[in-house]
Structure 1
Amino acid sequence: RKRSRFFAFHFLFPFIIAAATVLHLLFLHETGSNNPMGLNSDADKISFHPYFSYKDLLGFAALLLTLTLLALFSPNLLGDPDNFTPANPLVTPPHIKPEWYFLFAYAILRSIPNKLGGVLALLASILVLMLVPILHTSKQRALTFRPASQFLF
């Protein structure tokens, strides 16, 4: 019973995200986006469709071509070498490590010996990232005048 609800949630969740995206774009089209710098100039505006639509289409085609070539000609290039060793049901591997995108959570959980403390530290590390925009007190919201942004862009 719980599994069927879980499956229904995972099936419906992409549609919910797509609906929220369409709603966001609808509101953005109605009101327009705000400019955090406070500099409103109609002289710098260009139309969205011919320029950005083709740019996004070209980027999507390049990404799709790259992933297709990778999947067709070298499917094991990005795989973990441990996946190619045959499994032994009698011996547990000495060190099971998670995928790279879970390594931060794994490091936090391993560094604190108390299980509850490790889980609380993991939750706190995620909540700190959610509090960063709230605790940001600078009047300047744009990245235009920041040194790292000027160096990168």
Structure 2
Amino acid sequence: MIANKKLTNFIRFQSRQQIFSATTPPGTAAGIVKAIDLINEEPRLRAKLWDNINYFKKGLDALGLETGTTCSAVIPVKIGDPRTTMDVGKMLLDRGVYTNPIMYPAVARKDARIRMSMTATHEREHLDKTLNAFEDINKKLHIAKK
């Protein structure tokens, strides 16, 4: 039986829980178990991660960039316009900063953002390089909201 294209598209884009779901591969599960072990064995890593999160978020806030109310290692830089968000992502990549531009249907159409992920292995120079890149990009594209 062939499904109606309009119906299949509706189901595909309205069933968000299905769009982004997948079974966890064994290697990923093993990595998660090891990460939990490291949390217990190396408390300094957790402290360093929180230092990085707080430092980076304060830096973005000082630039007037909108980061929402996140309190995790994933920090969104909300831009809104999808085209501008893609431009920011490319400009950051050109500066050696890997990011994840997030667009519809993962977020609302006018809520596009750059997803930044902090780790305990980031050094202050990495964070400053990224903040400097955002500052330069803001001067060109005026992405600050505040």
TM-score with structure 2 setting the length: 0.27
Compare the two structures and name the one with the higher helix fraction: 1
TM (norm. structure 1) is 0.26
Q: Which has the higher strand share?
A: 2
